Structures are given as C-alpha cells and as structure tokens.
Amino acid sequence: MSTIEVGNIIEGTVVGVQSFGAFVSIGENKQGLVHISQISSQYVEDINQVLKVNDQVRVKVTEIKPDGKISLTMRIDEEPKQNNRPPRKRDDRGFHAGPRGGSREGAMPNRHKEDFESMMKKWAKNSEDRMSDLGKREKRK
C-alpha cells in the first residue's frame, strides 16, 4: 500500500468505538479517528447504532497532524460546504460591525473608555460597601 496522504480514500476496519467517534485501522499499522460528526450527513445520536468493531468502512483522510494523528471522514461523496457568508468587517476600533453595518457599541458598553484608576476606585468602594454590610449582618446575629 502507498503512503497515507490527505485526500486518500481507503478501505479500513473499525477497531474501536467511543461516544465521540470510531477508530479505524487503515493499514501500515496506522489508525485514524472518524469523529461522530463525520460518520453521516444525518445526525448520529448513538454511534453504536451505526458502527460496530470489525465493520469494514470506506474512509477519506482529511488531516494528518504533526503529532501523527489522522482524521478521517466517512462522508466521502458529499461536496464540501461552501461558505457563502461575506467576511465580517471591523470598524476603526476593531469591533465587528453589526448586522446592518453599524457598530455594536450600543449593544455592549465600551468598557475601554473608562481608565483603570477609576475602575479600581469603583471596585474598592463596592468592596468596602459589601464588607460593611457583612459586618452589620454579623453584629445582628
């Protein structure tokens, strides 16, 4: 058998089934993982209803990581999903623009306008108030 490369379609044998996916022996003493999301285009709730140890499967190599781990898919005949979304634009401050192109500043307060010193003063006052309240409660007991 030739070397295993991304894009290869290989016949393999399921050697282990976990809740997150199945390990498939693909020859050359190598195994790869078919994540549960890559077993079928339909939702798979229980992998054990689809795959069992020793099942013969046809898989495609989708990724070989630097540490040697191999990712596989059984969704071979599917076209890859096209990303038809336009890229998200950022305004001049680095915020993502809202759905109508406007800034999202109204949706989330801009906390960067407040300087560190004033934030610390507020925190210290809030902390002192809480400690005072706790002390009053303890005295009442």
Mean pLDDT per 10-residue segment, the chain (141 residues): 81 94 91 93 90 94 92 82 62 62 50 75 91 84 69
Element (H, E) at 50: none
Distance CA 38, CA 15 (A): 17
- What pLDDT is recorded for position 1? 43
**0.75 exceeded by the pTM?**
no
Residue 57 has a pLDDT of 94
**Tell me, what's the pLDDT at 4?**
87
Q: What is the DSSP string of 61-129?
A: EEEE-TTS-EEEES--SSPPPP--SPPPPB-TTSPBB-TTSSBSTTTS--GGGS-HHHHHHHHHHHHHH
Contact 104, 96 (CB under 8 A): yes
User: What pLDDT was estimated at residue 134?
Assistant: 87
